Each structure stands twice: as C-alpha cells, then as structure tokens.
Amino acid sequence: MKNPQLRLVAALLFPIVVLATNTWMYQQQRSAGETFKFPIEGFDPRDLLSGHYLFYKVDYGVPSANACPTSDIAAALCLRPEKRVYPADERPANCEIYVQGECDANSVFTAGLNRFYIPQGYASQLEAKIADKKGEIEVSIDKRGNAAILDLLIDGKSWKETLQDE
C-alpha cells in the first residue's frame, strides 16, 4: 500500500471492524449459552459501588469439599453433573457445562462475573437491596465455558422492574 489515503482508511477501519466483531461474538455468546442464576452478596456492605459499577461476590454453590484444590491456578467450575472446581487442565470429560476462571490467592474460585454496570441515579437503591442479600445474577454460559452476565435480579425480578415497582 503506497497510497497514503488508502493506508489512512485501513488504519481507521481496522479498529472499527475489530470492535464490531468483538461485540457480535459477545452477543452470540450471550444468546447461545445456557442460563444460570447465582446469588450475590457484597464484599463490604458499606462500599459496594465503585463509580458506576456494583461489586459483589458470586455464590456458585460449591460445597467446601469441592472448592479450589489450590490457589493461583487456572480452573474450571463444573456445574453439571456435580458442582466442583477442577484445575483447568484436569476437567473431566463428563463435565457437561462449566465456567472458566481461576482460583485466587485465597483458594476462592473467580470467573470475572463480580461487577455489574449501574446507572448513577439508581445506585443507592440497588446498593441497599444487594446489602439485604436479595440479589442474584443471571448468567449465560456457552459450551466452551465462557460466561456473560445477562441481568441483575432483585427478589427474582430484573433490577429495572424492581425499581419501577417502587
């Protein structure tokens, strides 16, 4: 490409194409996956919000005997047939649906599902509801273990519905 105008067009189009492809892939993941709900609770009830994001801990419902085998490893949380955390390279073939993640320094499984965007006007209302342990997240998990948050639920209803009802 010796034409500088053609180079400029290519340089401008490349990030747009990459962003559009990434958005399309994320949407496909959300629509193609199986839906699960997990209860959430705040790390610190006095400070759940950071900017426009609500931060929380996800309760995957894994019995302590089946939790992270060690810390600081790539891991897979098998959801079916048995809820159990395995090192990523030791996930059994009969694990039908799983979430990719890691075991952190405290041997706690994390999958990057610990924050949800909240418009500033609703932040304090939602923070109070999550502090009352009324929240859960709805997650789509695809066949490759990729998880995407679909919605924040309060008492089983979408956070938007909950705030409209008040």
Q: What is the pLDDT of residues 27-57, one digit of tens each?
A: 776 677 899 999 987 655 444 545 567 788 8
- Does 16 share its domain with 95? no
Give 1's pLDDT tier (boundaries 50, 70, 90).
low
DSSP state at residue 166: -
- Does 146 share its domain with 127? yes
pLDDT, tens digit (0-9, with 9 covering 90-100), for 86-123: 999 999 999 999 999 999 888 889 999 988 888 877 77
- Does 104 share its domain with 120? no
C-alpha distances out from residue 105 to 12, 14, 116, Å: 41, 38, 23
**Total domains present in the chain:** 3
- Domain housing 8: 1-32
- Does 138 share its domain with 120? yes
At 30 the pLDDT is: 67
Q: What is the mean pLDDT of the chain?
A: 84
At 166 the pLDDT is: 65
- Does 119 share its domain with 164? yes
Helix (H) or strand (E) run with residue 141 in it: strand 135-141
- Does 52 share its domain with 96? no
